[in-house]
Structure formats: structure tokens, C-alpha cells
Amino acid sequence: METAAEAETQCVIAGGGPGGAVLALLLARRGIQVTLLEAHKDFDREFRGDTIHPSAMEILDQIGLAEKLHQLRHSKVYGPTIQTAGGPFQPFDLRRLKTKFPYVMVTPQSKFLEFIITEAARYPGFRLRMGASVHDLIQENGVVAGVRYQTSGNEGEVRARLTVGADGRHSRVRKLAGIEPVKTSAPMDVLWFRLPRLPSDPESSSGLLGRVGAGRTLAIIDRHDYWQVGLVFGKGRYQEVRSAGLEALRKVVVELEPHFAEHVLTIQDWRQLALLSVESSFCRRWHRPGLLLIGDAAHVMSPVGGVGINYAIQDAVVAANVLARPLLEGRLEPRHLAEVQRQREFPTRFIQRVQALIQKRVLEPALDSTTAGVRVPALVRVLLKLPVVRDLPARLIGFGVRRVRVET
């Protein structure tokens, strides 16, 4: 059990993902006592989201961490290249963005989280407890006043003026608060796996490739030491894929990317693959007195565009901007929590609608197709050559609806 001194703080955050970790860092920088609870015992595990977009890098640059972050091993993605029936197609190019960071940085999320936590630990008000799983909210007179959590064999509690649920799409904090997300259906699932990088492999020019055909799509990410591959197929078709067997799976991968003929021989067990059930959802209300939800706890993003991590980080920045002074002055009110949602709700709902449109107009027809590829309409190709239209997708992927800045 925690000591009395450790059991009280100004803010307790459940969930040590990108949103929770960045919020903890930003609050600690402002002199706020913050306790971060992470259910896992370490960050050394497999993550599927390893992309840091220009928006997040500009935020880190504001607090003097972007250059240091780039010392981690990473690759740069300037835009996807999709192999269509009419040849290679690049829907956007981040290199045209007016920013110091005209690319998506790909680095293991575990290393990114360790980096952020190390920086937060430099501030005396920051506390981290790993392996701490929240199981109850402390509520007093209708106000959330902290959490109760469990570690291996022990229980503890942290009382706080503000409790933040940053614990992901299956948020325990959200459930305990009685907040129900509105789910929206996605037409696809993704089977993730690694393929080895062989000496004969070429360097990828963009870092992200796409292969489309015969009702399936292959997403390929260059991770230096290996290829991260996602096989995308129609919703609910996993059992069909599984029943066909590993040999059929290897054949599908090679049909979409013949270069992987030798690589796929390393797939010998279904345990080498992980199924990601794609979903999207949003909460109509992100807060209760004393409680705020951010990131996937408030809005689960589709993997289209890979923007989920960066929207969680933007949530964290806005939360720190709005809530730091009220926390320091001991005058946190429900209107402050509502202001965080007000500033972040439109950008997240807007990008979710864009993702849904791409899923419906592009991915769903491709997944229903039995042909060897998809065709990009000539009008789309022409429009994307016009400067006024050409850079809109890159800006939306890179920064979202609007840039978010850290207030000091």
C-alpha cells in the first residue's frame, strides 16, 4: 500500500500510452504533482502504432525535445506509395509541408514512451507506478476524487483533484465512470506480422508501401531490421483466412508482393500473427466532475492515416494548456474539463468522418473487388496535381484540422 504522502497528488493519470505520458510530462513541467499509473510492468512489448507525425514533433520541438528524440533509431516516411492497376500512385507527399519535420517519424512506441517518461522523471512532482491496474474510482459527493488500483498482490489508492482516463480503447476508467462510447462500424480487419529484412531487399523510397488486389490489401512499413506487414481484409473474414491455412496466407502475401516469396517462408505458426479488429468510436461526453477522458478512451480512431497517437498527444497538449493553471490555483471546475472537449471534439470527429469516407469510398470497394488491383479515377489524379488541392491531404495527415501549440 502506498504511503500517505504518495497517496495524494494534484492529478492522477491512468494509462501510460502516448497521450497519458505526454500529459504527465507537460503537467510536471508546469510544477504540478502528477502520478502516472500504467497497468503493464514495462513498455517492452509489441505496439502497432509507431508513427510520430509532424504535429507531435512540432510539439516536442516547442519544449526542446525534438532533436533529442531524433537520436533514437528511426525511419522517415514521406507518404504512401500504392500499387494500383494503373501503376504506382502517391496520394500525398509530406515533403511539401511548411515545417521543420516534413515527414512521419517511425520509431518503436516502446522507445518513444521510455523517452517521454525519462524526461518527465526529471521533474520532482512526477511519480510513476508500473503494473498498477485501476479497478475503482474514488467518488465523493458526485465528484471523482482519485482511483483505487491493484498491483501484484497489493492494493493502493491515489487521491487527486483531477483524474484522467488515458487507458485506451478498452478504457477501464471510462467504464467505471459510466460513459458509453458510440461505436461506428469499419469494413475491415488487419492481420499484423513481421517479415525479416534480407540482404537483397531494396531500400524503400517512402518507407510505406501499399499493395491492393483480389479483395485484400497489404500495408508494408520499413522498420530497418524487418518489414512490418499488415494484411487487410473484409470485416469478419478472419476465420475464413485462418481456415485456409498458413500456406494459403503465404500465397496471398506473395501474390500482392512477389518480392516476399522468400520472406514468407519464415511464417510457420499463427502465433507469429496478431489480429487487429478495426473499430472507430467516440464519446458524446468526455468528462465528469473531477474526471477527463483523452485519446482512445474518448475517441477510438481508425488506423487509416495512422493518426491515433498524434490525436492523443494533441488532446494531452490542450488538456495541459487548459487545466494547468486551475490545478495550480486549486480552482478546477467542470467548465474547464468541458473546454478541453470543446477544443478537441471537432478535430477528432472531423478526421473520423474523413477516415470513414476513405474506408467507404476506397478501402471497401477494394476489399470487395476480385480484380488484381484498383483504379484511381482520372479526375482524382488530375485534382491532386493542382497545388490548391494537392497539399490538403498532407496537411490533414500531418497536422489535423489545426496546429496545436504548448502554452507556457
pLDDT band with cut points at 50, 70 and 90 for residue 3: very low
pLDDT band with cut points at 50, 70 and 90 for residue 358: confident
DSSP 273-307: -EEEE--EEE-S--EETTEEE-GGGTEEPPSGGG-
Q: How far is CA 344 from CA 266, 267, 326, in A?
A: 44, 42, 19
For residue 39 the three cell numbers come to 497497468
Q: How far is CA 209 from CA 49, 89, 221, 258, in A?
A: 16, 10, 7, 13
What is the rounded CA–CA span in Å between residue 211 and residue 225? 21
Element (H, E) at 130: strand 126-130
Strand partners, 218: 211, 231
Confidence at residue 271, expressed as pLDDT on a 0 to 100 scale: 93
Strand partners, 232: 190, 217
Confidence at residue 385, expressed as pLDDT on a 0 to 100 scale: 76
Report the percent of the chain where pLDDT is more than 70. 87
Cell numbers 525535445 correspond to what residue? 65
DSSP 47-101: -S--EE-HHHHHHHHHTT-HHHHTTS--EEE---EEEETTEEE-S--GGGSSSS-
Classify 251 as helix, strand or coil: helix
148 class by beta-carbon count within 10 Å (0-12 exposed, 13-18 middle, 19+ buried) = middle
By mean pLDDT, which of 66-80, 101-115, 375-389 is the weakest? 375-389
Question: Who contacts 118 (Cβ-Cβ below 8 Å, separation ≥6)?
Answer: none
Taking the CA atoms of 6, 11, 12 and 15 in sequence, report the sign of the dihedral they define.
negative
pLDDT band with cut points at 50, 70 and 90 for residue 159: very high
Domain boundaries, the chain: 8-46+111-183+281-368, 188-277
Q: How far is CA 35 from CA 22, 25, 172, in A?
A: 12, 10, 17
Do residues 278 and 306 make contact, with C-beta atoms less than 8 angstroms apart? no
The model carries a pTM of: 0.89
Question: Who contacts 98 (Cβ-Cβ below 8 Å, separation ≥6)?
Answer: none
Cell numbers 487507458 correspond to what residue? 167
- On the question of pLDDT at 136 being above 90, the answer is yes
For residue 218 the three cell numbers come to 497489404
Do residues 93 and 101 make contact, with C-beta atoms less than 8 angstroms apart? no
User: Residue 335: what residue type?
Assistant: R
Element (H, E) at 23: helix 18-29
Confidence at residue 211, expressed as pLDDT on a 0 to 100 scale: 61
What is the rounded CA–CA span in Å between residue 234 and residue 232? 7
CATH architecture under which domain 8-46+111-183+281-368 falls: 3-Layer(bba) Sandwich (3.50)
Confidence at residue 317, expressed as pLDDT on a 0 to 100 scale: 98
Question: Who contacts 126 (Cβ-Cβ below 8 Å, separation ≥6)?
Answer: 24, 25, 28, 34, 36, 120
Taking residues 27-51, what's their average pLDDT? 87
Taking residues 283-287, what's their average pLDDT? 97
- On the question of pLDDT at 2 being above 50, the answer is no
pLDDT band with cut points at 50, 70 and 90 for residue 83: low
What is the rounded CA–CA span in Å between residue 138 and residue 188? 39
